[in-house]
Amino acid sequence: MHKFKTFFSVIAIVITSSIMAQSGYKVGDIATDFKLENVDGTMVSLSDYNQAKGYIVIFTCNTCPFSVAYEDRIVALNNMFEAQGYPVIAIMPNNPTASPGDSMEAMKARSKAKGFTFPYVMDKNQEIYPKYGASKTPHVYVLQKTKKGNQVKYIGAIDDNYQDAEAANQKYVEDAVNALLEGKPVLETHTRAIGCTIKV
């Protein structure tokens, strides 16, 4: 009997975790705002950006090699699009107890070392990433400001080559934001990439 109980609880866990993995925003949904602590000690919200036309929200961290591989490209995205109304906001979703390399101190150090020109905030209560449905780092959500709220226009990877920016054939985020800026539909709205699970 005990065996059966264990078996069913395992099944329950598997089902729950797969539902959790599936939940989160789809393209077209309205994304929630947040108020999260930045590396400079201030609190950052989407609503702080009066002039923004939208946002490039990137769940990323210090410790994931894929995130590290994309750091320079994240800086480049902000340099390219902040002035055009699409600033980058980087959110670190890991629990620093489970991933000490992602502590606020470590985040500050990384932001300084890499010269981040955008907020690098911590999802301290780990409440925001599940709402978005981020399952890994890096994981990008391009949002467009609409009358209804901040609408999700793209979910996925930055480009199609994590090893070499120069060799990337498809620059998904760049293409998505450019399309939005030109008032055109985003052609590739959802892509996948290998990434590190979010540490809870």
Partner 1 sequence: MRKALYLVILLMFSCNNDNKVKGDEGLEKEINAGELKVYDFKGFEKYLSTTTDKIYVVNFWATWCAPCVKELPFLEELNKNYANQNVEVILVSLDFPNAYETKLKPFIKNKKLQSKVVALNDTDSNTWIPKVSEDWSGAIPATLIFNKEKRMFYEQSFTYAELENEIKQFLK
From residue 69 to residue 88, the character string flagging contacts with partner 1 as x (rule: CB under 8 A) and all else as - is x-------------------
Cβ atoms 173, 56 nearer than 8 A: yes
Which residue from 105, 73, 101, 99 is spatially nearest to 90, judged by alpha carbons?
A: 73
Could you say which residues in the range 13-52 bind partner 1, by CB under 8 A?
A: 14, 17-18, 21
Which residue from 57, 45, 39, 38 is spatially nearest to 133, judged by alpha carbons?
A: 57
From residue 109 to residue 148, the character string flagging contacts with partner 1 as x (rule: CB under 8 A) and all else as - is --------------------------xx------------
Question: Any contact of residue 89 with partner 1 (CB under 8 A)?
Answer: no
Question: Any contact of residue 3 with partner 1 (CB under 8 A)?
Answer: yes
In the set 45, 65, 72, 79, which binds partner 1 (CB under 8 A)?
65
Question: Any contact of residue 166 with partner 1 (CB under 8 A)?
Answer: no
Question: Any contact of residue 163 with partner 1 (CB under 8 A)?
Answer: yes
Distance CA 138, CA 24 (A): 16
Q: Which stretch binds partner 1 (CB under 8 A): 71-79, 118-126, 141-149, 162-170?
A: 162-170
Q: Find the angle CA(139)-CA(142)-CA(145) to the nearest 5 degrees.
A: 150
Which residue from 132, 195, 127 is spatially nearest to 162, judged by alpha carbons?
A: 195
In the set 77, 92, 157, 173, which binds partner 1 (CB under 8 A)?
157
Which residue from 114, 59, 116 is spatially nearest to 82, judged by alpha carbons?
A: 116
Coil vs helix vs strand at 54: strand
Residue count, binding to partner 1 (CB under 8 A): 34
